[in-house]
Amino acid sequence: MSYIDGFVIAVPTANKQKFIDHASKGDPVFMKYGALRVLECWGDDVPSGKLTDFRRAVQAKDDETVVFSWVEWPDKATRDAGMAKMMEDPDMSPEKNPMPFDATRMIYGGFAPVVELKK
């Protein structure tokens, strides 16, 4: 079964195109190092909860939109090797592809799927 890296960030809404440009430069690097699929999802229906929610999790401000992204890898070994290579790849440097959001508020993690349904 595949392995998933998940990310939640708050992006200034005014930076939507800058985020798309950033992802368009960075996401092919994931693919270069073995990812099967990358999805970048701009928040469209992200409700506020009573105890917690996506917005609170990343301390999103009123002028920010929550982005939910994930990278699908064939397995954890490919992910570990790919992520190590990405950290060294000059195309991922902040000078070549600056992040149009506050990365200190990013939430991320690796996940091993336990149930998978497909059509």
Q: How far apart are CA 11 and CA 79, in angstroms?
A: 25
**115 inside domain:** no
**39 inside domain:** yes
**14 inside domain:** yes
**117 inside domain:** no
Range list of H helices, 33-117: 54-57, 76-88
**10 inside domain:** yes
pLDDT tens digit string along 15-45?
A: 999 999 999 999 999 999 999 999 999 999 9
Q: How far apart are CA 93 and CA 22, in angstroms?
A: 11
Range of the domain at 37: 3-108
> Who has greater pLDDT, 68 or 96?
68
Mean pLDDT value across the chain: 96
10 Å Cβ neighbour count for 79?
22
- Mean of the pLDDT values across residues 94-113? 95
In this prediction the pTM is: 0.92
